[in-house]
Structure 1
């Protein structure tokens, strides 16, 4: 009986919490419904349970601590890795009528003291801090003030606490000590990507107590996945940019040199572009990032130093000029596209040469074997002829449900359909013969260099310029040899062994070579004329075209287009006056609904996605005026 009463009481509390959360969602943030798992996470946090939430970028992680913060009596501390992210989050909250502050080195002493006075006066619900700033005596003194109860400690980008993560930061390890100082505060850890080992590290290193773990789908269905062999990379990049004319994009490069060279090339061609990497001063990096976030520059060419935690929702494309070192890194970076849920595009330019560049740095890696394992996952994704989305999700332990993958929206492989079988008997025989002639002691790169007749020092030292297979592959491009190598591995003719992926023939491979069997593989090669390969068909599917410039804009008539541009211009002017990014005023999804629905009253305005009570009171009359003038 007692248990029944307890369950009834718990259910009642949960229902009350749900109603409060839903009311705040609509009134403050202007959203009609929660995204998957948001409400579950919010209820877990409000009930006092330590919680780990793994949600994709754009999945709505921020609301999972912002709504509990508005319900808790005390303050919520948000540990965030980037000053720019803190500024964006606080600006967006203030725009919605929520009192929040950040405490970091960007503040003058006067503004810092003013923020502290607000906190001590009980006017602030959320305080954003950096992991390194959290342990300072100054901040410790503020948090331990008896008048400031700490209800929740939220750790954003929590994968940074794990040495297994792709972006480990030692400062994050100090958070556990801070947690112990506030034993009554609930802990919420948030991240967009976390393998099983990273999740275990997060829970252990943050000393979470019997945490509830929520894992949302990793599927970012609005991002179209595309991989192209890197051929005339600059042309490939500019082609993609032109498809997304006047839209924001990020281009990731392997090195500072590549980033600078590509930026200079694009600038000479008249594109709105800046660079970002660790070789620039803090002031220059901050200026470039600020201009990108505020839509004063369209394209950012960057190394991996850029973008973690960037809250810009209208990045329409991400290009990888060079291949990332791991699928975790790749997923994080493409996740910066389409945070608003609108159609976006991820393009990876893939070259076998990228693998060599990445491996060159393995010697400096703390764990070369782990680095090789991560690289293998990335190369499998880049070279697969199957659905890329299925492979990507499978890496994070998620199985894409049958029929849930719309081919026209999914990836380049799905759009183009099944790859036809190609007769590769002769080049396959050459490749496998070369493996045998070199005693099955080398990886694909070395075998291909021998086939192409290279006179590298290592080949000459091994006297492999004297074997019969040296130079017999000169009629086929290097990238095609790599594609053939991967296809032979997938088909089971050869296997990779050890840390250096040494190639060894399987029994099937030996039989095919000895018996001169015909070998047909699903393969698309660049130099297709050499092997009489069929050309890859191009898609004319209209959904594929959505990932090109302005799908919504193209649907508008003359009057609606004029309204769209006028509201967009008003948003930009308003943002400039407040010195905030345009998306802080409202995002593109809100802009599109304003044009579609053309609200005529405050009640109708409140039905628009992203416009809550505070925002309607602040800017509603101006928006209604713009719309009514257009309708007259």
Structure 2
């Protein structure tokens, strides 16, 4: 009998899921045909009670809160931290979603008199299935009264998107994040579902506590360290002494700009460069100078995203980055461009200086490879970036930078997730594991190296940096002969102590393109000095 009941429940769930997916496909012109394993687990869990969902960036957490209202015929309140996230979701859902702004809130509080706007009519009539907003609006006395008087019987779920903000922002920056449980006082039996891509075990407990979620809350989670991202950490030039902070920044950005200037910039891997605000502007200024000097039109391919940008500029940029065929190739950004932004084909994430926390790092790295294709993450740091006087950075970020263990293993231990090396080849894992990879390709590369010559630590670092650069150029020029061979790599590494000028590199590399010679020299200067 129990077997028959279980089979019936499975068929009922499967049928409801297919119907809901079909409706979403019709509304959004999508082609969802199935759910991933942990999406299924999350939806099933949420249908049975309160749930904490910890899944990687790009896994499809938003589909979970799209499905459940359609499967239950109940409305959902979705709490989100950023305008860009809400705008994107409301645009996708059309007239089945409403964004509760101050203006809409005033329209809702008509007290039964006066004309009703189209949005108010849609919300009260049942057309609206998703109610989006910031915590500051959704826990306001005015909104809580509206819910109590008009919506308490139709709202079944509260989804807290980017739930790590409850902990990271809830104390001082946005204290209303710690008041979200007020919604439980006006909606009897409402189910809370918290969702994030980055939460240590300690943070998970804090989220549940601050949201007053049930002790029987189910946690659906997997490793937030995606297999298609290779983690690389590289020392950059000092920011003090003979080299200024601006010059240190330029040694990383100039090769990217020169690469973009080549005739084949259509093959330039879409790249996000994360840095502090003032360096976003510096990167954009450098792009202007390089464009004018090289007489190339690259500025249409470059933009910047940061907090001072206007809301309309941010919204336009998010939409442009989300379009696979966009001309935009290089984005200078602060951490303002992270949570919820969905650009499918980012192939390279560059950090010039480490972020403040590993949570932030994973959110930003998670912008890359969201379509499942490979993405390289490069974090550049120097002693000034991780000095003891840097109080705005969590200590584990410094440990991550200087560690000589597998980057994935380190991140896995921090987030309480075990990394399975079988899921990714060593040379695509991180810079540490790439040095010990024993696949045929890597062994062939090592056979070229004369191991009778003991390499210095600088030469080992240079080998890793040049190897990544050669691979990137060869992928971008797959139909052309670049001359960036394993033999040349070995020659450069052996000769690197004697290469003190660009002319030295040019003489060593023969007929190589000037762009390649410039970039090789910059890497040598950056890593070995």
Is the alpha carbon distance of 1:321 and 1:183 closer, same or farther for their aligned partners in structure 2, counting shifts above 3 Å?
same
Q: 1:215 aligns with which of 221, 230, 250?
A: 221
Q: 2:430 aligns with which of 411, 415, 418?
A: 411
Q: 2:283 aligns with which of 262, 281, 284?
A: 262
Shift of 1:14: 4.1
Q: In the TM superposition, what whole-angstrom CA distance separates every residue of 1:405-451 from its partner, at most 9, and x where no partner exists? A: 312322223233379xxxxxxxxxxxxxxxxxxxxxxxxxxxxxxxx
The match for 2:139 is 135
Aligned partner of residue 403 in structure 1, secondary structure: helix
Q: In the TM superposition, what whole-angstrom CA distance separates every residue of 1:18-66 from its partner, at most 9, and x where no partner exists? A: 332144336624233322311011011122x000010111111111111
Q: Does 1:183 align with 2:188?
A: yes
Is the alpha carbon distance of 1:349 and 1:141 closer, same or farther for their aligned partners in structure 2, counting shifts above 3 Å?
same
Q: 1:536 aligns with which of 435, 444, 463?
A: 463
Is the alpha carbon distance of 1:312 and 1:141 closer, same or farther for their aligned partners in structure 2, counting shifts above 3 Å?
farther
The match for 1:162 is 167
Shift of 1:202: 0.6
The match for 1:307 is 338
Is the contact made by 1:408 and 1:541 (CA closer than 8 Å) also made in structure 2? no
Q: 1:141 & 1:165 partners in 2: Cα distance?
A: 23
Q: In the TM superposition, what whole-angstrom CA distance separates every residue of 1:83-102 from its partner, at most 9, and x where no partner exists? A: 221121222334xxx83232
Aligned partner of residue 120 in structure 1, secondary structure: helix
Shift of 1:145: 4.3
The match for 1:401 is 420
Is the contact made by 2:274 and 2:352 (CA closer than 8 Å) also made in structure 1? yes
Give the TM-score normalised by the residue count of structure 2.
0.70
Is the alpha carbon distance of 1:76 and 1:307 closer, same or farther for their aligned partners in structure 2, counting shifts above 3 Å?
same
Q: 2:177 aligns with which of 172, 193, 202?
A: 172
Q: 1:197 & 1:542 partners in 2: Cα distance?
A: 38
The match for 1:225 is 231
Shift of 1:300: 2.7
Shift of 1:162: 1.1
Shift of 1:263: 2.2
Is the alpha carbon distance of 1:74 and 1:378 closer, same or farther for their aligned partners in structure 2, counting shifts above 3 Å?
same
The match for 2:378 is 347
Aligned length: 425
Q: 1:348 & 1:547 partners in 2: Cα distance?
A: 21
Unaligned residue ranges in structure 2 (runs of 5+): 109-115, 238-247, 292-298, 439-453, 481-529
Is the alpha carbon distance of 1:141 and 1:406 closer, same or farther for their aligned partners in structure 2, counting shifts above 3 Å?
same
Is the contact made by 1:85 and 1:310 (CA closer than 8 Å) also made in structure 2? yes
Q: Does 1:104 align with 2:36?
A: no
Is the contact made by 1:381 and 1:391 (CA closer than 8 Å) also made in structure 2? yes
Is the contact made by 1:152 and 1:186 (CA closer than 8 Å) also made in structure 2? yes
Give the TM-score normalised by the residue count of structure 1.
0.60
Shift of 1:142: 4.2
Q: In the TM superposition, what whole-angstrom CA distance separates every residue of 1:186-208 from its partner, at most 9, and x where no partner exists? A: 11100010011110111011111
Unaligned residue ranges in structure 1 (runs of 5+): 366-370, 420-521, 556-632
Shift of 1:321: 1.0
Is the alpha carbon distance of 1:197 and 1:297 closer, same or farther for their aligned partners in structure 2, counting shifts above 3 Å?
same
Is the contact made by 2:170 and 2:176 (CA closer than 8 Å) also made in structure 1? no
The match for 1:114 is 118
Q: In the TM superposition, what whole-angstrom CA distance separates every residue of 1:264-303 from its partner, at most 9, and x where no partner exists? A: 1123323433333345565665565565556464433222
The match for 2:253 is 237
